[in-house]
Amino acid sequence: MKQSKRQNGAGKLSKQNKKRVKYPKKNEVSHAKKSRHSIRRQRNKNMLITAVLVAVLFAILVYISLKVLFIVQKVEIVGTERYMPEEITAYCRIPYEESIFKIDTDGYEKGLYDEFVYIDSVSVKRRLPNKILIEITDSTPTYYSPQNDTYTIYSQSFKKLTSRAQKPETLMGIEADLSNEEIKSTLQQVIDAVKEGGYENVTLISVADISDIVIVYDDRISIKFGTVLDIDYKLKMAFHLIENEISDGEKGQINITEAGKAIFTANG
């Protein structure tokens, strides 16, 4: 009996607990959803306002930088000994009181290179807060190329400078199609190898093709190299032959198209 009463009592308590559980009413659920939607909408609105304010602030900063802070107040020219600074500035006419970010640096570089024959390279840079720096490397007559009855003079970077009627004895001769970038690059490799090896009395370098390289030594010995492959080793062998086995004043040809094999043929 006691056990039965306990069970009945537990049942009553369980029923009472079930009665105490309150579920949200339909209108309360709807109100909660509306509240969450309102919060989300307000958050999006705040984000939009913040983005607009940031954009406006950025625009103001850009305006200030362009119109107030970074305006051209100085133009500095360095590197050239051939041209006066006044010549360069007179050509450029860089506008003072203009934003340095509006200066067409690439355009000025191209214009200066094309206009001034003895400018070999030029760099126009912005220097914050208010300076334009123009760095110039002067052209130095370095090579000549025979052209019919005249000799065309080129700079150290193969820029065409002028023409002469007489052969320039102090310059190295070159024969190559300088409009062909592959041939031009090969010519530069050969020149670099000659300079780095310290070989003197090279009077002409001919690159008719990347597989047809010829060096003329002292206007009397032509050295046929073939390609630029193993050029350092080929130069070493050729000049060893010239210095040790060929008489002074003797003329002829050296064929060293195959590395490790140099053959001298004297002129008949």
Answer whether residue 221 shows pLDDT above 90.
yes
- Alpha carbon dihedral 234, 193, 178, 165, in 10-degree steps, equals -100
DSSP character at residue 259: T
Residue 26: predicted pLDDT: 53
Mean per-residue pLDDT, 103-115:
96
Nearest to 87 by CA among 109, 105, 107, 112: 112
The DSSP secondary structure of 11-43, one letter per residue, reads HHHHHHHHHH--PPPHHHHHHHHHHHHHHHHHH
The DSSP secondary structure of 155-179, one letter per residue, reads -TT--EEEEESS--TTSEEEEE-TT
- Percent of the chain predicted with pLDDT > 70: 82
Residue 70: predicted pLDDT: 84
Q: What is the pLDDT of residues 7-47, one digit of tens each?
A: 455 455 445 555 555 555 555 555 555 566 677 777 777 78
C-alpha pair distances (Å), 254 with each of 40, 87, 261: 87, 50, 10
Residue 69: predicted pLDDT: 72
Answer whether residue 250 shows pLDDT above 50.
yes
Nearest to 128 by CA among 208, 74, 185, 81: 74
Answer whether residue 129 shows pLDDT above 80.
yes
Task: Please give the Cα distance from 87 to 25 (Å, whole number).
Answer: 88
E-strand stretches of 22-117: 74-78
Tokens representing residue 187 in the block: 């010519």
Task: Average the pLDDT over each of 37-46, 148-157, 204-213 and give the range with the smallest value.
Answer: 37-46
Task: Average the pLDDT over each of 26-35, 109-118, 233-242 and give the range with the smallest value.
Answer: 26-35
Task: Please give the Cα distance from 132 to 130 (Å, whole number).
Answer: 7
Task: Please give the Cα distance from 180 to 184 (Å, whole number).
Answer: 6
Task: Please give the Cα distance from 38 to 30 (Å, whole number).
Answer: 12
Q: ∠ CA(186), CA(190), CA(191), 5° rounding?
A: 115
